[in-house]
Amino acid sequence: MKSFDEKERAQALDLIKKFSESNGPSGFEHETAKLAVNLASPFGEVSVDSMQNVYVSREGFRGDRLRVQLDAHLDEVGLIVHSIRDNGMLRIQALGSWVAANIPAHVFRVRTRNGKWIHAITASKPPHYLSEAERQQGVTIEQIELDIGARCGEEAEEKFGVYIAAPVVPDVAFAYDESHDLLLGKAFDCRLGCAAMTETLRQLDGEDLSCDVVAAYSVQEEIGGRGAVVTARRVEADLAIVFEGTPADDYFAPADQRQTALGKGPMLRHIDRSMITHPGFQKFALEMARKHNIPVQEGVRSGGGTNGGLIHTQGAGIPTVVIGIPVRYIHTHYGWAKLCDFEAAVTLATELLRAFDETTMEQLTV
């Protein structure tokens, strides 16, 4: 596989940084959707629907050829303000799946009425005040509160501008360690996918393809894939490629069971809780990876799910593959990933799109 040159790497890192640092929990993706519009508009006709799903019909779209939908979801796991206590603390509710014990003693951003994002700390009682029972019991999300520094509820609302149902996201800056090829940031599920989809459009910019391509940046994946249902109905694709930031297993799984390790390429899952991947399309993708010496990993997942689970059931059925970029510690504040895995994901997607033509559907046989 040919690696990115210096310019391409710089462009990719800029995309990842911008997407990672944007604020967009499920249902509140407006800021990230606007970013996607700005970054993807050079590569096709862009539109946004009422849910904030962003569509990019690639230059050269004709409407009478094999139609391919690319997907990556804009939203990140976050929180929402449930209520404001008299003492100024904010009760919260989860947007997406969290392990409650990972939430305390971290910094978050809360959006105010005027659209400004302010700092908040997840409150935790100092160990000096904990009873023995409190030391031993696990924390639940109902017990967790956010502290914005207000001294009372009135101050939280009137001076800080915080309101009920305000969105909340982790406060994390993106960083890249070139010497170890490591990416550090928040929301890699699925902002790495958003960046990879955008980079795929850039890599193919100006190139003639034998298929029509619509890239859909979808919303609300973390709370049930609601945006992907709408995008799939609108695009009416024949095939779909879903980009994901997928949980790495190399820091806890036995060596002979690891299927999503950092630095070994994207993972193509055969099955998860939401989808049995179309065997013919999976075979086609794996053969394409071997042909171009693109490192990939194969996964058999007992849990988890992606937008592919919803997209593949739309219309008369849409053969779908998932290109998952391994990320350690997704659904927390921070994630580790490798730029080389990002590059391999983009390369595989571009080679698949170059290979598609009017005979492709006939080739998707087991």
* Residues facing residue 353 across a β-bridge: none
pLDDT band at 111 (very low <50, low <70, confident <90, very high): very high
pLDDT-above-70 percentage for the chain: 100
Please say whether the beta carbons of 17 and 10 come within 8 A.
Answer: no
Go through the domains of the chain in sequence order and give each one's CATH number: 6-76+186-363 (3.40.630.10), 78-170 (2.40.30.40)
The two structure tokens encoding residue 295: 């490192």
Range 156-178 average pLDDT: 98
pLDDT attached to residue 204: 98
Please say whether the beta carbons of 289 and 363 come within 8 A.
Answer: no
What is the 3 state secondary structure string of 312-333?
A: CCCCCCCCEEEEEEEEECCCCC
Among candidate residues 31, 76, 145, 221, the one labeled active-site is 221
pTM: 0.96
pLDDT tops 80 at residue 365: no
pLDDT tops 90 at residue 135: no
Average pLDDT over all residues of the chain: 96
As a whole number of angstroms, the distance between CA 88 and CA 162 comes to 10
pLDDT attached to residue 23: 98
pLDDT attached to residue 8: 97
Q: What is the layout of strands, in order, in the sheet containing 54-58?
A: 44-48, 54-58, 212-218, 67-73, 239-247, 320-327, 267-271, 297-300
Q: What share of the chain is helix, strand, coil (3-state, %, to 5)?
A: 35, 25, 40
pLDDT tops 90 at residue 130: no
pLDDT attached to residue 133: 81
pLDDT attached to residue 253: 94
Q: What is the enclosing helix (H) or strand (E) of 30? A: helix 30-40
The residues, any chain, with a CB within 8 Å of residue 301's CB and separated by 6 or more, are 269, 271, 272, 273
Range 351-360 average pLDDT: 97
As a whole number of angstroms, the distance between CA 25 and CA 77 comes to 6
pLDDT band at 127 (very low <50, low <70, confident <90, very high): confident
Q: Which of 96-110, 117-131, 150-164, 183-197 has the lowest mean pLDDT?
A: 117-131
* DSSP states along 347-358: HHHHHHHHH--T
Bond prior to 194 in cis (omega within 30° of 0): no
pLDDT, one tens digit per residue, over 267-326 is 999 999 999 999 999 999 999 999 999 999 999 999 999 999 999 999 999 999 999 999
pLDDT-above-90 percentage for the chain: 93
pLDDT attached to residue 366: 61
pLDDT attached to residue 132: 83
Please say whether the beta carbons of 360 and 29 come within 8 A.
Answer: no
Q: How far is CA 359 from CA 65, 208, 241, in A?
A: 11, 17, 18
The two structure tokens encoding residue 190: 């699925």
As a whole number of angstroms, the distance between CA 300 and CA 276 comes to 10
As a whole number of angstroms, the distance between CA 81 and CA 223 comes to 16
pLDDT attached to residue 45: 98
pLDDT attached to residue 124: 75
The yes-or-no answer on residue 134 being catalytic is: no
Q: Which of 122-131, 295-304, 338-347 has the lowest mean pLDDT?
A: 122-131
Q: Residue 300, exposed/middle/buried by CB under 10 A (0-12, 13-18, 19+)?
A: exposed
Please say whether the beta carbons of 168 and 80 come within 8 A.
Answer: yes
How many Cα neighbours within 13 Å face the side chain of 50?
Answer: 0
pLDDT attached to residue 211: 98
The two structure tokens encoding residue 345: 């994901």
pLDDT attached to residue 300: 97
Residue from 13, 17, 57 nearest 217 by CA: 57
pLDDT, one tens digit per residue, over 49-61 is 999 999 999 999 9
Q: How many angstroms from the chain centroid is the CA of residue 114?
A: 27
pLDDT band at 139 (very low <50, low <70, confident <90, very high): confident
pLDDT, one tens digit per residue, over 203-242 is 999 999 999 999 999 999 999 999 999 999 999 999 999 9
pLDDT attached to residue 1: 87
pLDDT, one tens digit per residue, over 56-95 is 999 999 999 999 999 999 999 999 999 999 999 999 999 9
The residues, any chain, with a CB within 8 Å of residue 23's CB and separated by 6 or more, are 31, 32, 109, 111, 117, 167, 169
As a whole number of angstroms, the distance between CA 106 and CA 361 comes to 49
pLDDT tops 90 at residue 2: no
Amino acid, res. 2:
K
The residues, any chain, with a CB within 8 Å of residue 68's CB and separated by 6 or more, are 211, 212, 213, 214, 237, 238, 239, 240, 241, 353, 356
